[in-house]
Structure 1
């Protein structure tokens, strides 16, 4: 396990100490990394948000949170940066008008939606989520932001599961930052 983006090691260590490993959840053979202890600790959560704000200040015009844990991270980061937050949601959860994109999952498919009037043409958008695995959800979110006229300049995740090579799915032009890698 590591961090790949020169984040301050003391903050990375603090974040790592608050990620709980749960064996066989949500299914047998899966090692789930639970961020609930991190967001429940005001010191650890504040340190994470400050670290991310220091990295992205002046580089983005909006933060897009992916449903649902991405919202938890994106809202305080957007406030700290003084920018707006975009919500990328599962189908049918936003009042229209919306733009949507269908994408493949490991077992099936899904649809994400965004209200296009929340995105300005050429707006530099940081996509934020808790976990990057296969890259399907993050890649679809980047495509959706482009479809709405924005420029997804980066993806930041709390945890990257490197065995799935999700960052390779995103293509060129999207810088990927992960606080922790497993």
Structure 2
């Protein structure tokens, strides 16, 4: 399936010079949703995943579905101030600013094998923040999945992620 046809591109959003990849249009196509979910599942079904970590907000959609298929738990990583209990947090840089993400402190343990999922890999800042949160919990193994990778953006964060098994469904060069 050509997922690029299902992903809307919006020029100059959220600021001039950025070509935003909007996967919410992909959600409308049940065949595309099934394809993405099945592709991620098949890429990780034999890895022993115990928790899928989804990054706010679009990472929740497929993260939850894949966790269900993998018979794993789901852990949300949220923007600052959205979680009600004791949290761990990481500050990260992204292509148009900086932000903070948080995870419940008791969400992961040293027994977990984790799949971190997000819709888009741009600078890698959010993914590395999620990685650091998982590492603080001492998890056994970490994998990554992304729907899209903006390969033309090369950063130290993305170079760090090369040390981890990663699945990408759509690449933009």
Same fold (TM over 0.5): yes
- 1:16: how far off? 2.3
What does 1:65-80 correspond to in 2, within 5 Å?
65-80=54-69
Q: For 1:17 and 1:98, locate their aligned partners in 2 and report how far apart those are by CA, in whole Å.
A: 38
Whether contact under 8 Å (2:50, 2:113) holds in the other structure is: yes
Equivalent in the alignment of 2:44: 56
Deviating more after overlay: 54-63 vs 106-115: 106-115
Matched, 1:31 2:31: no
Equivalent in the alignment of 1:110: 99
- 1:25: how far off? 2.5
* Structure possessing the higher relative contact order (Cα contacts under 8 Å, 6 or more residues apart): 1
Q: For 1:103 and 1:16, locate their aligned partners in 2 and report how far apart those are by CA, in whole Å.
A: 27
Residue 4 of structure 2 aligns to a residue whose secondary structure is: helix
Are residues 175 and 120 of structure 1, via their aligned partners in 2, closer, same or farther at CA, if it must alter by over 3 Å?
Answer: same
- 1:169: how far off? 3.5
Matched, 1:132 2:121: yes
Matched, 1:141 2:111: no
Show CA shifts across 1:96-154 (max 9, x none). Answer: 21111222334543221111222121311011001101111100100101102224521
TM-score, length of structure 2 as denominator length: 0.88
Gap regions ≥5 residues in structure 1: 1-10
Whether contact under 8 Å (1:53, 1:80) holds in the other structure is: yes
Equivalent in the alignment of 2:83: 94
Matched, 1:40 2:31: no
TM-score, length of structure 1 as denominator length: 0.84
Q: For 2:12 and 2:95, locate their aligned partners in 1 and report how far apart those are by CA, in whole Å.
A: 18
Q: For 2:77 and 2:140, locate their aligned partners in 1 and report how far apart those are by CA, in whole Å.
A: 14
Gap regions ≥5 residues in structure 2: none
